[in-house]
Amino acid sequence: MRALMRETYLGTEHLIAPLFMVANADAKNPIKSLPGQYQLGLNALLSEIEESLNAGIQSFVLFPAVDDYLKDKTGTYGFQSDNFYLQAVREIKSRFPEAYLISDVALDPYSSDGHDGYVDNGKIDNDKTLPLLARQALAQAEAGFDMVGPSDMMDGRIGYLRSALDQNGYTEVSIMAYTAKYASAFYGPFRDALDSAPKSGDKKTYQMDPANGREAIREALLDEEEGADVIMVKPALCYLDVIQALRQQSTLPIAAYNVSGEYAMLKAAAANGWIDENKAMVEMLISIRRAGSDMILTYFAKAYAKLVKSGYAYH
Ligand code: PBG
């Protein structure tokens, strides 16, 4: 009877697995604050994608962990077409054309300042950042990404990227806009994974105030107007009300990012025997769907898919 009346369905097709990459092809470095997640060199990355595809996960968002000596103020390495990130994408696409690949567009993985935007005299220069983001997005489209994911929160970048992509013939490359991305404490483990924490200051001049809900609607309407194909709320769990509000205001598909800190909290409690990991994971993910998201970026993607395959029935 519970199954007949269940309102919300979470399938593996709704999940997107974030993966971290490094240049050394043979590496598989555990990330201490993200148990079960690794910095993957090309070989381990290809195995991880194959295993995930077999488990039923078809979409991936890729993040590069770049060595410090390659970082500079404009994030030049991000738009070098032979960088390890873009080379890996070509390799994945030739081996697994069915894998749907989403990029990360932002300066922080490549920036000596550790900020998502260009830093000028201690301030983020929004408009100087836009052409740098466009160069990244174009290099990513050229390498074979299906969708670009601007996670930087600069104003006006969705429209700017859409026209740059269109003018260069990438009309079929979609944009997943990190629309309502909050200045959150829950990104800590991700910054460990990429060693991308800001060198000075914080991200509060471009990421949103956790106290604001209406502002998320304004951001969503702007991104929709500028040509976003998907709008995102990030993090997910403290912002379920924001997901629900955007669901009511926009007809676009909604993504929610179940971020690193949310994953780490559950993993830590489970490792201590304080919580049932599988039950808590499913409840967490279902709640994000119930709030109104279509797709969920989550470090639990493969674990959930394997659980479903094993015949696990929740509640
Ligand atoms: C930065 C970026 C961040 C995440 C994705 N892209 C961190 C930040 O804004 O500092 C966080 C994802 C996570 O915590 O899982 N462009």
Residue-wise pLDDT tens digits, 80-97: 999 999 999 999 999 999
pLDDT at 313: 72
Task: Quickly state the pLDDT bin for 194 (edges 50, 70, 90).
Answer: confident
Residue 263 has pLDDT above 60, yes or no: yes
Residue 20 has pLDDT above 70, yes or no: yes
Residue having the nearest C-alpha atom to atom 16 of ligand 1: 151
Q: Is 28 marked active-site? A: no
Report the separation in Å between the CA atom of 252 and the middle of ligand 1, taken as the mean of its atom positions: 22
Q: How far apart are the first and last CA of the chain?
A: 12
pLDDT at 181: 97
More confident site: 302 or 196: 302
Residue 212 has pLDDT above 90, yes or no: yes
pLDDT at 312: 85
Residue 197 has pLDDT above 90, yes or no: no
Give the residue, out of 31, 60, 116, with the most ligand 1 atoms within 8 A of its beta carbon, to mutate for a pocket test: 116
Average pLDDT, the chain: 96
pLDDT at 314: 66
Residue 260 has pLDDT above 60, yes or no: yes
Per-residue pLDDT tens over the stretch 24-68: 999 999 999 999 999 999 999 999 999 999 999 999 999 999 999
Specify whether the CB–CB gap between 291 and 216 falls below 8 A.
no
Residue 157 has pLDDT above 80, yes or no: yes
Report the separation in Å between the CA atom of 191 and the middle of ligand 1, taken as the mean of its atom positions: 7
Report the separation in Å between the CA atom of 273 and the middle of ligand 1, taken as the mean of its atom positions: 28
Task: Quickly state the pLDDT bin for 315 (edges 50, 70, 90).
Answer: low
Atom of ligand 1 lying closest to residue 258 CA: 15
> Cα(54)–Cα(280) distance, rounded to whole angstroms?
24
Residue 145 has pLDDT above 70, yes or no: yes
Q: What angle do CA 292, 294, 300 make, to 5 degrees?
A: 105
Radius of gyration of the chain (CA): 19
* Of 116, 136, 134, nearest in space to 125 by CA: 116
Which of 181, 203, 267, 302 is an active site residue?
181
Q: Is the CB of 305 under 6 A from ligand 1?
A: no
Share of residues in the chain with pLDDT > 90 (%): 94
Report the separation in Å between the CA atom of 182 and the middle of ligand 1, taken as the mean of its atom positions: 10
Atom of ligand 1 lying closest to residue 263 CA: 15
Q: Is 181 marked active-site? A: yes
Residue 99 has pLDDT above 80, yes or no: yes
